[in-house]
Structure 1
């Protein structure tokens, strides 16, 4: 896949089509940014899930202690 994109870049630069090359480069940058944002979103969702599970676990432990103390 990388070879394919490298070939496109070289062809655009060799043919003197700099405006098309800049459009291509901008598109590639946008795709990378979108990928990073998706990865950050998924990481935040996973973190929130683990925090929620910890809270549920702590609440269960507190409930168990309260029942034992009564």
Structure 2
């Protein structure tokens, strides 16, 4: 969980100095006030400069059990 302007977010991804955020609060008025774009019903997302995002918790996930490792690094 991360925060932007004191509101809870999940960082979905990063590109350069930008983070793709998904609002994890449930207050529609907050999402609207922050200018978030609706992605799906009850899901609001936005891009934010990384220096605007606070308390970023990084998690790393390994390959799925039983996943075919021969495709690793292959470009599709």
Q: TM-score range by the shorter chain?
A: under 0.3
Structure with the larger strand share:
2
Between Structure 1 and Structure 2, the one with more helix by share is 1
Question: Relative CO higher for 1 or 2, CA cutoff 8 Å, sep ≥ 6?
Answer: 2
TM-score (norm 1): 0.19
Q: TM-score when scaled to structure 2?
A: 0.18
